[in-house]
Structure 1
Amino acid sequence: MITFEEALSIINNTRVSCTTEKVRLETSTGRILAADVFSDVEMPPFDKAAVDGFACRRADLHELLEIIEVIPAGTQPVKAVAPGKCARIMTGAMVPEGADTVIMVEHTEMTEDGNVRFMKDKTSANIAFRAEDVKLGQQVLSKGTLLKPQHIAILAAVGIPEPLVYRKPVIGIISTGDELTEPGNKPRTGQIRNSNAWQLMAQAGQLNLTKIYTGIAADSPESVKTHIKQAFEKSDIVLLTGGVSMGDFDHVPEVMQELGVEILFKSIAVQPGRPTVFGIRDEKFIFGLPGNPVSSYVQFELLVKQLIYRIMGHQLEPVVLRLPMASDYTRKKAERKSFIPVKINENGLIEPIEYHGSAHIHAYMEADGMMAVEIGEAKITKGALRDVRQL
């Protein structure tokens, strides 16, 4: 048995193959950039008005100003601003030659003869100056960036309609167990509905990954082998739940080895998820996850997601909040590192959720995150600062 930190280190140091592809801008959110991006333009490309108002010379602020033209956004000024003159200008329009200030329209009044008077004591320039945001040739995004909507705006602004990104892995999903039946079926005596596969497909779906579901494997080495071989043919990462513990019908580790899988670990000092198996074959990966739904859910979040992002060219840094405990927390056994579901209350305090063990997936329905309780740690006192990994 290895520690959770050792398992995570194995995931982070396992060699992965990252291939690239170009995708349309509208489908690139959540993808990982595979190349640095440089700007082919200056931003702004010219001095532009930051407000609706009048472009003038600062030296003339307290003079009556004659309007010489109107400059809408998207047009080029025709006249230069001379002393005592101004141009009516719209937000985003090019500032005319000679002007160094745009006074806001609400800070002005019109005289009876159609001139403009500034009604304040002072004003800022109200000009977005050429290249003050981005210079020509400047790097604007780095390889490895996880693309969010604000990054999409940058890509569009620098003329990248098809960014180069890392390919997403295909996820193969298998459930094992003679006791399982699919959600649409009424369970017979001794049966339960298969929730793990659909949970894992939903977790993979949140990352916009392609999923291959092979169905339920029976509790026999032959059936498990058939499903794993089928999943390996079509997937980059295989997720199998159940059959990884020490029972008479837990065939997964031995079948993995028969299929040439190099097992890198098969037991972690963690709760939930101790009998988690991880292996590699021909640059493809397989996780044997425990059959209890909380275990498979948690280990996907902690380990599987880490590997997925590595294949996509990104080192995942999960969002972690450091907050105080709302009350004392105790546990009876402290031999393993434990991850427990918690809520963050209206006062920003951590409240552990009532949790009955690795089959109690309902405990995660209202969870804001998971809190780690370290090996040997049996009690956490009220007010103690703890890290909460957001879900």
Structure 2
Amino acid sequence: MVLPAEQVAFNEAGGRVLAEDVYSDVNMPPFNKSAMDGYACRKEDLGQWLEMLEIIPAGKPPKFEIKPGQCSKIMTGAAVPAGADVVFMVEQSEVNAGKQVRFTGAKTNSNICLLGEDVKTGDLVLKTGTVLKAQHMAMLASVGCVSPSVYRKPSVGIISTGSELVEPNVFPQASQIRNSNGHQMRMQAASCHCAVNYYGIVPDDEDLTRDAIKKSVDENDLTLISGGVSVGDFDYVPAIIEQLGFEILFNKIAVKPGKHTTFAFNGNKYIIGLPGNPVSSFIQFEIFAKPFLRQLMGYSAPEVNLPLPLATDYQRRKADREEFIPVKINDQNEVETIRYHGSAHIHAYHEAFGFMVIPEGTSSIPKGTTVYVRPL
């Protein structure tokens, strides 16, 4: 499913996904334009003393047509006068008494950007599914698309479950830990240009958990829940999801970390339940929740996986699941693994460039082998 489209103001379009093709309403350049500061003349007159007619600044039309034996001084970006087919640089010129100019170089390019050589009126300049970055905003501005049609932002509700959790401003007491998952997921969802609603910590209480999930699904397209999705005595989330009318498509996946990941839907409402360990929730957001959100937004670009050589031998004890390992890139563009203690060790990711993917069934990878790294 892709969310409906809406028109937004130009200044609010950054990071959004285009819901329509965009065509140019002008030629680019819109006139023959000088590529540098110099003198506009006829090619056959290069090397001769030329009468200078005028100085042409950018933004002002030329007053005179160039005829044999004539030139005009011209600034970068200014319109080239009729009759001229070359602009030679100021650095390759000699001026005689301020009235005559001669080209002194051995050769020169035309140094003229021709009308419509970049884009012609009616050309397709941006396609549906494009995420609007700085370079795309420049193109929208160039073609006067000031109210682009984009897909609606998904609204995402964030819930952290667990009686052991306290917020970051609280010093944890015995058996307590600070809630890193909720704020990690909040930032991850915000970086996808979603509208994020944070519902805080819900203790391990079935009624409170149900109330929090119901509130989130009523108010959001997607609800992200960390914790409570495994098989412990206080893992209420899967049962509550079904009580609320959602169909669970899966609640386990053969990956590490993040085995206990749940996906459910009810019409156009979705729930992704992530494990409580911070690395598990972080990675499962990257490999599952983020692509799903991008699908809702009509995002068409594929995920990037970089093929790079491994710097040292790598070994693991179990190969029963696909695994994701934090890595950095050294000065030789080789992949180095980062010391990593498992799914609770979120500190391992603070200096990670990305994570490499180890396929199921692979227990060892020799140095120099090409591995695939997904950047973060």
- 2:239 alignment partner, SS class: helix
CA shift digits 1:64-123 (9 cap, x unpaired):
000011111111111111100001111111111111111111110112363101111211
State the alpha-carbon separation in 2 of the partners of residues 113 and 322 from structure 1: 60
Match of 2:294 among 306, 309, 324: 309
Partners of 1:298 and 1:346 in 2: CA distance: 26
Question: 16, 19, 23: which is aligned to 1:31?
Answer: 16
Matched residues in 1 for 2:76 and 2:2: separation?
Answer: 48
The corresponding residue for 2:131 is 146
In the TM superposition, 1:177-192 aligns within 5 A as: 177-192=162-177
How much does 1:209 deviate?
2.1
Alignment deviations for residues 244-286 of structure 1 (CA, whole Å, 9 cap, x no partner): 1111111111111111111111100000000000010121110
Q: Within the alignment, does 1:291 sit opposite 2:239 as a pair?
A: no
Moved over 6 A (4+): none
Q: Which moved more, 1:288-297 or 1:176-185?
A: 176-185
Question: How high is the TM-score relative to the length of structure 1?
Answer: 0.94
- Counterpart CA distance in 2 for 1:316 and 1:93 is 38
Contact 2:192 2:290 (8 Å CA) reproduced: no
Which of the residues 296, 318, 330 maps onto 1:345?
330
- Are the aligned partners of 2:16 and 2:193 in contact in 1 as well (CA < 8 Å)? no
Which one-letter code corresponds to 1:118 in the other structure?
Answer: F
Deviations 1:319-363, CA, capped at 9 Å, x for gaps: 221110110000001111100000111111111111110000000
- Distance in 1, matches of 2:296 and 2:43, equals 56
Aligned to 1:194: 179
Question: Using the alignment, how far apart are the partners of 2:45 and 2:329 within structure 1?
Answer: 57
Match of 1:44 in 2: 29
TM (norm. structure 2) is: 0.98
Structure 1 residues without counterparts, runs of 5 or longer:
1-15
1:62 aligns with 2:47: yes
Shift of 1:218: 1.9
Match of 1:324 among 309, 321, 325: 309
Tell me, yes or no, if structure 1 residue 125 matches structure 2 residue 135. no
Instruction: Tell me, in whole angstroms, the C-alpha distance in 1 between the residues paired with 2:97 and 2:235.
Output: 92
Task: State the alpha-carbon separation in 2 of the partners of residues 260 and 112 from structure 1.
Answer: 88
Contact persistence 1:318–1:390 (CA under 8 A): no
Choose the corresponding residue for 1:252, options 203, 216, 237: 237
Contact 1:214 1:230 in 2 (8 A): no
Whole-angstrom distance in 1 between the partners of 2:233 and 2:194: 34
- From 189, 192, 212, the equivalent of 1:207 is 192
Picking from 85, 99, 110, the partner of 2:95 is: 110
Tell me the secondary structure at the aligned position of residue 208 of structure 2: helix
Is it true that 1:239 corresponds to 2:229 in the alignment? no
- 1:93 corresponding residue in structure 2: 78
> Which whole-Å deviations, capped at 9, do the CAs of 1:20-47 have from their partners, x for residues lacking one?
1122222222110010001111111111
CA contact under 8 A between 2:160 and 2:227: conserved in structure 1?
yes
| Stretch moving more, 107-116 or 251-260 | 107-116
Number of aligned positions between the proteins: 376
CA 111–17 in structure 1, closer or farther in 2 if over 3 Å, else same: closer
Q: Which runs of 5+ in 2 are unaligned?
A: none
